[in-house]
A and B are shown apart, each in its own frame.
Chain A
Amino acid sequence: MPLSAIAFETESTPADAPAITQQSVATLSNIAKHYGTTKALDGLNLTLRPGEIVALLGPNGAGKTTAIKILLGLIAPTSGAARVFGSNPREAITRTRVGAMLQVARILETLRVREHLDLFRSYYPNPLPVADILRTAQLQGLEDRPFSQLSGGQKQRVLFALALCGNPDLIFLDEPTVGLDIESRRALWHQIRTLAAQGKTILFTTHYLEEADALANRIIVINKGRVISEGTPAEIKRIGGSRTIRCRTRLTKEFLETLPTVTQVQRHEHSVQISASHAEAVVREMLLLDETLTNLEITSPALEDAFLALTQS
């Protein structure tokens, strides 16, 4: 990804800041939301710019869904200000330009896909044509199926389709791919990218790190109701640090631990796993000392590791 490569080199510049100045589509400023003594959100700040795909990443209970609900005006913050298209999201009029996919157990099971769309389209002043919705959500051929007779992936796509009915400029997707198989998940990613290419702004929550990595221009990591890190997927990964080397070698654990930049060595039955920030230097040394070394493999830190490093600190 060239954009993240640039950000990687010039680390002083903020994450993929576009050259042109853009107005924000939605902002949360210093939002707190308390349920009794529990702080769901604790001084959360968030800005969405036009046309970007932003991932709100965090463990369960981090406050992701609460943040989305405040942006949708479904709940009021205890303190702080929420603005969507310059208005208060609690005002119904703001919702005509917003689409939402929430975590819904089920929707009316006996209604057909076409009927669900017909009803939701009627709520909006300028709805998207049914054919466009069906195509974008890949529901062609399923129009006359009752919701109850759809597979899990198809049901999720119907919920996605409902979010598109009003031809919104801003779309919130709360855990959009939860429970989907990998194929359906990738298909939905493709559809989300298509929407962003049309200039729509998308905020989605996920605890699938792979999803945030693959889909988002920008990741906002939140935990315990606060933003703990923000940046491109590449930037977030770098925070996680070292790379991992796996191989079969005669070299002992004790010796490997003395090599430069090695932070951790784990010996399994047939292989060792070494964590080091300068993997090349370590591997060069190992190859020199052990000509029997086989099955060499070097992997970059998964976003998962970065994420764990961030949220556990």
Chain B
Amino acid sequence: MATTAILPNPTRTAAQTLTIYRKETKYEFLKLMRTRSFSLATIGFPVMFYVLFGLSNRNSFTGGIHIAKYMLAGYACFGLIGATLFGIGVGLAGELAAGWLELKRASPMPAPAYLFAKCASAAAFGLIIVSLLIAIGTAFGGVKLSPIEIVKMLGLTIVGSISFASMGLLLAQIVPANAAPGIVNLIYLPMSFLSGLWMPIRFMPHWLQGIAPILPTYHLSQLMLGVFGYADTISRTTHWNALIGFSLIMLGLAWLVFHRKEQNS
């Protein structure tokens, strides 16, 4: 075998790059699907809660708001955020701790492919959860949705997944892997409750309602409710700005932590 010290320049073709992105995403999704503790919990909890609390309100209307429909938006957000925080936050923390990511970094894998696969898989789970909720709501909850409303909901699901993926990236790096599920729950569950994802915020004590506008979950849920015309009086632009601002801050912090670790390693 001829051994030369000169490196040939095997530039990757666009097709090869595309293949890497496709396979990385496929296997990330398969991994999540086969990890029962993830797939059963992230799909099961929002579906179960919606069946218990949403469907029981199939005939409740207050001030022109159909409660079962209102709750569909809340549990859609609850489901997609759970899939993203657990899929990316807990998943990445585990892969960092186990040395798996390091092994991949030692290969010529393009790093963006790894991040893309994580975001795309989380979004796919979000879409599965929201589609299931829509199906349950329309079939058993008396919820009526126009095709436009469904498309908007699914679009917001993707947006929400990407937005909360940034928080997942940050958490994965600052939280120890074995404590990650607990810590994510400690952040995710109170945040969901305080933002009115479980029950309409107007039913909560007034002093609690004041907390909601500082939470990103609240702004995502208001955008989702806006699809049905159920949003609060704050303008939609404000909600968008809040969500984008939150994502950028999380991404910036994640990048800073990553950079600092990289320099210290």
A binding-site residues for B, Cβ under 8 Å: 22-25, 35, 50-51, 72-75, 85-87, 92-98, 100, 102-108, 110-111, 115, 118-120, 122-126, 146, 159, 162, 165-166, 169, 198-199, 201
Chain B residues with Cβ below 8 Å from A24 are: 5
- Out of B1, B9, B34, B265, name the residue touching A110 (CB < 8 Å): B34
Chain A residues with Cβ below 8 Å from B34 are: 110-111, 146
Distance (whole angstroms) from the CB of A161 to the closest CB of chain B = 12
Chain B residues with Cβ below 8 Å from A199 are: 1, 3
A-B contact count (CB 8 A): 107
A87 to B9, CA, bound (A): 11
- For residue B179, CB closer than 8 A to chain A, the reply is no
Chain B residues with Cβ below 8 Å from A102 are: 99, 102-103, 106
A169, B3: Cβ atoms under 8 Å? yes
Most chain B CB within 10 A, of A75, A92, A122, is at A122
Within 8 A of A (CB), among B238-265: 264-265
A169 to B7, CA, bound (A): 11
Given A50-B3, A87-B7, A93-B9, check contact A100 B103 (CB 8 Å): yes
A24 to B103, CA, bound (A): 25
B binding-site residues for A, Cβ under 8 Å: 1, 3-7, 9-10, 12, 16, 19-20, 23-24, 27, 30-31, 34-35, 95, 97-100, 102-103, 105-110, 264-265
Q: A87-B7, A110-B31 are in contact. List 17 more A-B contacts (CB 8 A).
A: A72-B106, A85-B5, A86-B7, A92-B110, A93-B10, A95-B107, A98-B106, A104-B98, A104-B99, A108-B95, A111-B30, A115-B27, A122-B24, A123-B20, A123-B107, A146-B34, A165-B107
Chain B residues with Cβ below 8 Å from A107 are: 98, 100, 103
A108's closest neighbor in chain B, by CB?
B31
A225 to B184, CA, bound (A): 40
Distance (whole angstroms) from the CB of B64 to the closest CB of chain A = 47
B109, A104: Cβ atoms under 8 Å? no
A101's closest neighbor in chain B, by CB?
B103
A198's closest neighbor in chain B, by CB?
B1
Chain B residues with Cβ below 8 Å from A166 are: 107-108
B97's closest neighbor in chain A, by CB?
A105
A74, B27: Cβ atoms under 8 Å? no
A93 to B12, CA, bound (A): 10
- Out of B7, B16, B31, name the residue touching A97 (CB < 8 Å): B7
Distance (whole angstroms) from the CB of A109 to the closest CB of chain B = 8
- Out of A86, A95, A100, name the residue touching B5 (CB < 8 Å): A86
Distance (whole angstroms) from the CB of B191 to the closest CB of chain A = 29
A98 to B105, CA, bound (A): 12
Distance (whole angstroms) from the CB of A231 to the closest CB of chain B = 23
Give 3 nearest A-B pairs by CB, closest first: A199-B1, A110-B34, A125-B10
A94, B103: Cβ atoms under 8 Å? no
Chain A residues with Cβ below 8 Å from B265 are: 74-75
